[in-house]
Amino acid sequence: MDVSFGSRIAQLYDASDVLVAVYDGFDRIRYANRAFRSAYFIEPEESPTWAEVMRRNHALGRGTVLCVPDFDVWLSSTISRRGKTGFRAFETDLHDGRWLWMTETVESEGWMLCVASDITGLRVEEREIRLDRDLAIKASYTDDLTGVANRRFLTARIEQVLVDHRTIGRMGCLAVIDLDNFKLVNDRFGHQMGDLVLQDFAKLIQGQLRRSDSFGRMGGEEFALTFPDTSLDHAHLILERMLAVVRLSRPLVQDPDFSYTFSAGITASRPGEALSDFYRRADEALYRAKVSGRNHVQAFADPVGMAADVG
């Protein structure tokens, strides 16, 4: 793009009352016009992450209105779904009294264009109906215990990996993850402490994700993770990094020496296959990781029917 043309576009955005921002694949602001920076109290030379903006504005009672009992739970839940689809639109209100209609458009490498318009003129009752609808949608995609995405949301993201491979030839990977010896955790410390371990695990993994990755709880101590447009080797490296982070965690105050690990099975998508086959291969690789000692990552690799340890 011509530099002068790019500068002219920036000037037009800065003269507009429409809020415009661009986030990179790690959810860090790379561009925001005057209206957006003013609404969210971002200095001209700053490039904070979305989570940093939300956290500091919530603490100061400005920016987006968040009527949530636990900010960290809300943040984890929102990050687990934010930017995982190519487009979404929603409404949000600001502490200054404005009501915004916001759209998020995400391209294949995870960069996001955010555009928001002022719709404060809508009747209050219409706004409340829309807000209730958005909250209901959010709840339907969120795991109650950990705050990350649930089986329903993850199933849609797994299917999207297969769609991308079938329609545009973009391969992705699926990992099925299981906490090691979790029954012993519950037997030793009780289910309440077991829940704390699950919550700790979800928070740690959430902090290691790229925007395009989707992570959630499938049930019990089993989680799943999708890696769109990612090779098997690259996905394996990401999982190994996650495993190293989890090994260092000490989540229980009652036992400062307590630590835990996970095992993971991973597989790459194949064109034209069913979701059940895709998931089965990852699950078979997980089983082999479990029976061969746990605490590592194992991949299901060709030829068909063979699983290979890549850890």
Query: Which residues are known to be catalytic?
Result: 221
How does DSSP assign 54-114, residue by residue? HHHHHHHT-SB----S-HHHHHHHHHHHTT-SSEEEEEEEBTTS-EEEEEEEE-TTS-EEE
Question: d(Cα 23, Cα 11) in Å, to the nearest integer?
Answer: 19
Query: Burial, 233: exposed, middle or buried (Cβ in 10 Å; 0-12, 13-18, 19+)?
Result: exposed
Contact 148, 141 (CB under 8 A): no
Tokens for 198, please give them: 């699950």
Helices and strands, number each (H, E), in the chain: 10, 11
Give the three-class secondary structure for 289.
helix
